[in-house]
Amino acid sequence: MTQSGVREDGKRQSVRPESDPGEKEPTTGSHSPDGDGTPAGDAKTPDDDGQSAGSASPPDADGPPAGSASPPDADSTPAGDAKIPDRDGLPTGRDDTPTRDGAAGGDGGESGRRRGGRAPRRRRVLKWSAVVLAVLILGTAGAGYLYYRQLNGNIKKDALNLGDSKVAAPTPNAAGQTPLNILLIGSDARDSKENQKLGGARETFGATPLADVQMLLHLSADRTNMSVISMPRDTLVKIPKCTDPDDGKVYRATQGRTMTNQSLGHGGPGCAVATWQELTGIHIDHFIMVDFAGVVSMADAVGGVPVCVDANIHSRTSDGKGSGLRLEKGTSYIQGEQALQWLRTRYGFEDGSDLARSKAQHMYMNAMVRQLRDNMTLSSPNKLRRLAEEATRAMTVDPGLDTVKKLYDLSDELRKVEPKRITMTTMPNRYVGARVEPTEDAEQLFRLVREDIALDGKDKAKKQAAEQASADPAAPDDEIPVQVRNGTRTDTLAAARGRASTVTGLLKEEGFTQAVADTTGSWSEDRTVVRYPSADLEGDAQRLAEALGIPSSSVKRSTDVSGITLMVGADWREGTAYKAPEKNDKTPKSAEALNGADDQACMHVSPAFTWD
């Protein structure tokens, strides 16, 4: 298939994608790798990248949106719904880091999780709704009862949260509105012949899938802005205990940290949701997994997506690795399998890392959103019918999104946001060997999302909401056990001597007579923080913070501690009075934010992958 493009001089160019389906890369390891570097308990071989897409919407009754007049007939055609790739691999950053290449969902073995919906009573005009950052497209058209039920039956569903701990939903704003948080997941599974034809490692057929693409989409309460945080696939996290609702199997919490992409294999996408909530403290309303087939359908449906490279590129190494992407310098309109090649390309973009690939995926998604908004109506009923069928077959969602109507309602919410108010980011991270871990900037990013602060910095002035006290009453100060740790060590400074003991003495003077200094380890924390392990200790933790003048935003629930723990950070290296740092609501530069309206973004091509 030949794709058309545009050269630097503005003329259309013809671009023929390589026939090679995808690149293979080394097997991804885990926190405790076995002899061959494959994650323990995971028999998979490398894949290239994962794909995901999605969006979410508040649950409501089955049935399509209220339509226009005209009774349904046998021929009526529904408007489709497609999705965008959630990128292939998540950023990881270095050239030697293993990657996988795969798509979410799959269509095998999920029939037990499907259900149908009620028939529409009216016919609806074919309409294309712009979607969540190109992550999901859903437009519902009036169709006959049987066809609508078929589409609903295509959608697979799974439980939203398989973990034991819950995160409270955000408090509504003055207008009674609440934000919406959706986890978009791309799996490396190859559960269908259709997906295998699209490339990647075929040896992974039937093996435990990995969540190689994970993106948190945040829609603001007032629906004026949208933020997306991508998490590198090799981020080291603690996966909490998860229980598979289908067979009751319990997956115990990981000992130590392991790669976040393994969470999907602990009972399903609901464990990925539990892992994100545990790490970020962000309440997640929905999840969506989508596979490779949707990427092809989406790009084809809009007639191609414009992407830019600053030099001719051919993603192919001398030993055959690479996505096979071949483009001329400038802007090209890519679709079909060539769109997959763009989303999976690592070799050839910038430094050849997964972080560079993530940047390319952000550019693609922003361009897709702009394309959708410029082409709100698709004129071909047959194309829409095919798109709707392929899209719904590709999806796995939580019960709150298990009908076409619910997905349509979600897309209706998402399309209220203009591209200029969409911000794509990557979770700030640092290397731990060949893996990565969140940095302090990542916590800053998570806090902005928790507090519904726009990442583009264009929020109108908001009244400061009163800090919400825990529903759990605090015990008397002298009955609250507190462990104090010295976390004042930094990259350039040794730990301040005796800080744990000094602050412990201060607490005892304040009435916290059960405070003890923990001098058994060495810690590093930029800011002073109070951590607690379970909801029944939240009130006690808040009371401790209040007594010391520590803001409630620095009181965090964490499975890293067994009781209330005060970590004295580098911001309190001396003195007996804690002075909270000024609140900073700016998006960290390390998040590499990309605005959705930026149509000038262009990927830098490594000189080793150019051609004349």
* Mean pLDDT of the 558-571 span: 92
* Banded model confidence at residue 268, pLDDT cuts 50, 70, 90: very high
Asked whether the beta carbons of 287 and 269 are under 8 A apart, the reply is yes
Q: Is the dihedral of CA 193, 195, 198, 201 positive or negative?
A: negative
Task: Say if residue 445's pLDDT is above 90.
Answer: yes
* Mean pLDDT of the 441-446 span: 93
Nearest to 455 by CA among 172, 133, 231, 226: 226
d(CA 46, CA 171): 43
pTM value is: 0.66
Between 499-509 and 538-548, two packed helices, what is the crossing angle to 10 degrees?
100
Specify the range with the lowest mean pLDDT, choosing from 19-23, 82-86, 498-502, 587-591: 82-86
Write down the pLDDT at residue 293: 59
3-state secondary structure 400-425: HHCCHHHHHHHHHHHCCCCHHHEEEE
| Digit-coded pLDDT (tens) for 79-108 | 333 333 333 333 333 333 333 333 333 333
| Digit-coded pLDDT (tens) for 569-579 | 999 999 999 98
- Give the three-state DSSP class for 208: coil
HSE (CB half, 13 Å, CA atoms) of 77? 18
Write down the pLDDT at residue 526: 85
- Please list the alpha-helical segments (H only) found in 415-555: 440-450, 499-509, 538-548
Task: Say if residue 205's pLDDT is above 60.
Answer: no
Write down the pLDDT at residue 581: 78
The distance of Cα 275 from the centroid of its chain, to the nearest Å, equals 12
Share of the chain above pLDDT 90, in %: 44
Write down the pLDDT at residue 18: 41
Q: Identify which has the larger pLDDT, 467 or 608.
A: 608
d(CA 480, CA 12): 71
Nearest to 209 by CA among 158, 171, 168: 158
Write down the pLDDT at residue 285: 97
Asked whether the beta carbons of 491 and 570 are under 8 A apart, the reply is no
Task: Say if residue 197's pLDDT is above 90.
Answer: no
- Give the three-state DSSP class for 585: coil
* Mean pLDDT of the 153-173 span: 90
Q: What is the rounded average pLDDT for all residues in the chain?
A: 76
Q: CB under 8 Å to 78, separation ≥6 — which residues? A: 64, 126, 140, 141, 142, 143, 147, 148, 151, 384, 385, 388, 404
Nearest to 91 by CA among 446, 481, 366, 362: 362
Write down the pLDDT at residue 61: 38
| Digit-coded pLDDT (tens) for 348-372 | 999 888 788 888 988 998 888 888 7
Specify the range with the lowest mean pLDDT, choosing from 264-278, 284-298, 478-492: 284-298
The distance of Cα 439 from the centroid of its chain, to the nearest Å, equals 17
Write down the pLDDT at residue 122: 35
Phi, psi at residue 514, to the nearest 5°? -95, 10
- Give the three-state DSSP class for 58: coil
